[in-house]
Structure 1
Amino acid sequence: MKNLLLMLGMYLMSHFASAQDYSERLTTENKSFKSASGTVVNATVGSLKVPENRNNPDSEEISIHFVQLKSTNSEPDVPLIYLEGGPGLSCTWQADDSHYLEQWLPFLEVSDVILLDQRGTGAGTERVLYIHQEGIPTDILADEAARESYSEKMGQAALDDFKQRGVDLLGYTTLESAQDIDDLRQALSYDQFSLYGFSYGTHLGQAYIKYFGSHVKNAVLVGVEGLNHTFKLPSAMDTQFQKIALMAQADPKIRAVVPDLTDLYQRVVHSLDENPAEVEVSSPLTGESMKMKVGSFGLNMILRIDIGDASDILVFPRLLYSIDQGNYAMLQWFIQKRIEGFYVEHGMNATMDIASGGSPSRLARVEEELAVSPFRDILEASMSTDWPHPDLGEEFREPLVSNVRTLFMSGTLDFNTPPYQAEEVRWGFSNSSHIIVDNAGHEQILTHPEATPTVIRFLKGGNIDDVALFYPPIEFIPVKGKAGDVSHPSIQSSE
């Protein structure tokens, strides 16, 4: 009943908003941008004021920013709205980046493209971003007690900061963001548009389809996170690592030195827990040097973040081998890359994920799989629910059934949003296709040379069921010696 009242409240607020004069809340200006090839793109840059929490009648207003890139087609199709990942990422900056803008030019031959920032994000509007100004414990990556104490301290400092600035965290949910999209649709006077979502953007896109589906002509969902997929299954990471181990074993140059990557991993994590590595990194705040102790948690953090990225998978055997040999140069590079995450608390990211939550059966399965996962420490840390949040409820997480014409895209090496998640979601879509890109990680699906032409063909109404996309098999970097033709920035001068 509580969720039904929530939906009713959102509907009434939506109805009220549609009756308002949007000119009072919508601000726009004309602007032009230049792509890497020198192409000038005309655009409308704007913002729309919306309630921070539509369930609070006294809510403050926040601004949602967007850039509408103008089509070069004299008879454009309905606009295409791009939904970035995260949650917590903006995308309007892509208009100012000549190389990213270049990638949108083919889409502009079909329709306008709307780059939409998620609520609370974007330059000058990071309302729910907290940056901790104190140093971090040097053993945060090796000692669980130190890590938990610091996490609790920083989390409370962030909450105090948000409270002092009047931030209503309960307004940062996927349902609120879906309503933002529809408010913008009404403000711009469109009956329909098409959706193009990546990663978390697919989660948001599905929420929009669920509650506002009649306004969606086409949907392209790349790297699919379903409405009940927010909490990742530990078995997905376990399986991904085992798969990489088999791939490494099939590579003669890796197998000759590392017969079994799983055995090497187990030996390394045991060694790091017995005697943590010490690496020197630069503070993201001051630039000063600081020495960090790294245990198995620090290594698992690196794997958790990058094990679904095909550009990093190729170096994992060498990373583990170098640690086993007492050489921490590569480990240092990865820690430097990720250490800034311990200084930042993104309230929007935390609230949105926990509010989407998981069904009782999903949570029970996660707990069961955690008990046997070798990555339990980092997976538990990434699934914390100790943060103020509403619960969007089981009605939100129920399977989505839709007749919206939809293209799903996945990568076979994508741990974050594995292909089987797209298939689970797709079961409820009566008019859909699914392209699985062989040897693509999470970040490599859209960068395939034929990905954009395929998406455009789909948006034009074409049949893409004959499309098969693939990359060559992963070529691992040798675990020692020269990297050869394939390299990775973490190797540095260790060759």
Structure 2
Amino acid sequence: MKLKTITILILILSNTILFGQNLKMEAYEFISKAQDTVKAELGTFYVLKDRTNSSQDSIKLSFIRFKSTNPNPGKPIVYLSGGPGGSGTGTAKGGRFELFMKLREVADVIAFDQRGTGMSDRLPNCKYYAEFLPEKPTDKAEYIQKTTENISKCLEFWELENVNLKAYNTTESAKDIDELRKVLNTDKISVWAISYGSHLAFEYTRLFEDNIDKMVLASLEGSDQTIKLPKNTETFVFQLAELAKDNYGSEQKYPDLKRKITEVHERIKKNPVTSSYDNRRGGRDIVGISNFELQSAIATFYLKNPEDSKRLPKIYTEMYNGDFTGIAADVLVLKRYIFNGIRPMPFAMDMQSGISGQRQKQIEEQIDECILGSSINFLLYEWMTNLEFPQLPKEFRDLKPNKVNALLLSGSLDGRTYLTSGMEIAKKFENGRHVIIENAGHDLYMQSPLIGDMVLDFFKGKELNVDRIVLEPTLFD
């Protein structure tokens, strides 16, 4: 055997040992935010940081395994958190803890921390920030300029820190999941996910469909839906306005909300305002509000779930009457904490998921004509078009038909990943069932015990004969 061939075989063998047989498991006492305590296991393993080059740099990935209570457990259920940037182990500590515990009736439940999140290896935060004057109404152009300049500084900072941001993309993360499957020593896994977690699950489906047993996905973000369409956001806002007319029969009604919403934005577009509010320190903050800042505040704080959007008619009515006190605190949060910096993992993941040419054309046609512009995307769309940052190849954004046994869930009042988008995605799942949850929002898993019970039944293999669940509506303030 030639020396070159022997060398190659040694390299392959060493990589197999390093990246295929490196699982470490240890006993772990898991404590939820509500102080529930359960015995679990902490697992860690290593994967190649960037599989697209010859570097052997590795990163540590972590997960919590909740052992099944079933004497004959099924395939492990792997939870993928949203964001990007959410932590699976962090999610398990919160409101979904109960559902994590219930699913142990079926199989081991894995709270997985994707690369760059939770208990997995993290990236250093950038030390630079953009600054926006609180009292000045700041237009969109200035936000684009200052944030892109700040991002350029951050990219230089991460380069000096030897951070390979390009390694943090959804394709690499999907391959991490399959490495997890291998170290768990199982031929298949089941996937449980929400929001960006569904976006990641679609890429796992594209690459490893045959390795999936069952899949439950909620609040669906398609392969080419990282950037949301402005028209969908406008339609959703006006849907809320329509519901607020009668407000489900309550005494507080908003018969002319759509006109008021439109007029508020027309006024502030022409004449930005300055407002103030009492802060927690006992003082008073003065806040300038441009139309872009108002759009961004509404998209960020008032659309995600019914508990958020119930405040929308009241806040618009106040602004229509000239009172911007209620929105001022939200705008200040945007100026000081949301638009001023970026987190490396979410930034890199979203930027590389990218946007197709067709969708970009739709955005351009809609962005200036719709009530909230593209503010549902924060400034991600503008960064994609103003910064030279790599995007994954076009096949990544093309979700093909598949035969995965899937349960797909969409909330009718989800103001992040819209019902119409979910219906479009569901057509790709030939063996999928799409269930619409009326009056549910984005974070729908715990909005009714019926939803958790349905998820459990699906993973147990029970036949579901339901396409719609109707929850009690949340009344508008």
The answer to whether the aligner puts 1:58 opposite 2:71 as a matched pair is no
CA positional deviation for 1:279: 3.3
Residue aligned with 1:42, SS: strand
Structure 1 residue 399, shift from structure 2 partner: 2.8
Q: Please point out which of 104, 110, 127 is paired with 1:108.
A: 104
Give the 3 Å change call, closer, same or farther, for CA 120–379 of structure 1 in structure 2: same
Q: Is the 8 A contact 1:92 1:117 kept in 2?
A: yes
**Inter-partner Cα distance in structure 1 for 2:86 and 2:431:** 29
Specify the SS of the correspondent of 1:345.
Answer: coil
Corresponding residue for 1:484? none
Contact 1:17 1:183 in 2 (8 A): no
CA separation of 1:276 and 1:224: change in aligned 2, threshold 3 A: same
Question: Per the alignment, in what secondary structure is the counterpart of residue 75 of structure 2?
Answer: strand
- 1:437 equivalenced with 2:433 (yes/no): no
Contact 2:32–2:94 (CA under 8 A) maintained in structure 1: yes
Task: Return closer, same or farther for 1:318/1:48 CA change in 2, 3 Å cut-off.
Answer: same
Q: CA deviation at 1:47?
A: 2.1
Aligned to 2:381: 383
User: In 2 relative to 1, CA 255–141 (structure 1 residues): closer, same or farther, beyond 3 Å?
Assistant: farther
Q: What SS class does the counterpart of residue 383 from structure 1 fall into?
A: helix
Partners of 1:437 and 1:445 within 8 A in 2: no
Q: Give the TM-score normalised by the residue count of structure 1.
A: 0.84
Q: Deviations over 1:178-198 (max 9, x none)?
A: 001011111221111100010
Question: Alignment length, in residue pairs?
Answer: 460
Structure 1 residue aligned with 2:337: 340
Q: Give the match for residue 398 of structure 2.
A: 398
Moved more, 206-215 or 345-354: 345-354
The alignment status of 1:471 with 2:467, answered yes or no, reads no
Q: Which amino acid aligns with 1:65?
A: S
Residue 153 of structure 1 corresponds to 149
2: CA distance between counterparts of 1:310 and 1:297? 23
1:348-396 Cα deviation digits (max 9, x unpaired): 2222223222322222222222242122263573412044533222222
| Counterparts in 2 of 1:178 and 1:289: CA distance versus 1, 3 Å | farther
Alignment-derived partner of residue 366 in structure 1? 363
What pairs with 1:310-349 in structure 2 (closer than 5 Å)?
Answer: 310-335=306-331, 338=334, 339-349=336-346
1:48-103 CA distance string (max 9 Å, x none)? 222222112125322222111111122111110000111111121245x3754333
Tell me the CA shift for residue 200 of structure 1. 0.7
Is 1:173 the counterpart of 2:169 in the alignment? yes
Secondary structure, counterpart of 2:339 in structure 1: helix
Secondary structure in structure 2 of the residue aligned to 1:343: coil
Shift of the 107–276 alpha-carbon distance from structure 1 to 2, 3 Å rule, reads same
CA pair 187-44 structure 1, distance change in 2 beyond 3 A: same
Shift of 1:111: 1.0
Distance 1:39 1:340, change over 3 A: closer
User: 1:32 maps to which residue?
Assistant: 29
> Hey, what does 1:461 align to over in structure 2?
461
In 2, are the aligned partners of 1:219 and 1:407 still within 8 Å (CA)?
yes
Gaps of 5+ in 1: 1-14, 478-495
Distance in 2 between residues matched to 1:98 and 1:309, nearest whole Å? 17
CA distance in 2, matches of 1:134, 1:357: 23
Shift of 1:288: 10
Residue segments in structure 2 that go unaligned for 5+ positions in a row: 1-11
SS of the equivalent of 1:46 reads: strand
Q: How far has the Cα of 1:289 moved from its partner?
A: 7.7
Name which of structure 1's ranges 33-42 and 443-452 shifts more when overlaid on structure 2: 33-42
Is this contact kept in 2: 1:402–1:430, CA < 8 A?
yes
- Cα shift at 1:216: 0.6
Q: Percent identity?
A: 27
Find the residue that maps to 1:218 and give its secondary structure.
strand
> Do the aligned partners of 1:221 and 1:408 also contact (CA within 8 Å) in 2?
yes
Q: 1:404 to 1:108 in 2, by over 3 A?
A: same
- Aligned counterpart in structure 2 of residue 298 of structure 1, from 283, 293, 316: 293
CA RMSD of aligned residues (A): 3.0
TM-score normalised by L of structure 2? 0.87
SS in 2 for 1:130: coil
Q: Verify the 8 A CA contact 2:61 2:120 in the aligned structure 1.
A: no
**Which residue of structure 2 aligns with residue 487 of structure 1?**
none
1:93-132 pair list within 5 angstroms: 93-95=90-92, 97=93, 100-123=96-119, 125-127=121-123, 129-130=125-126, 132=128
- 1:388 and 1:446 map into 2 onto residues whose CA distance is 40
Q: Could you tell me whether the CA contact under 8 Å between 2:436 and 2:467 is conserved in 1?
A: no
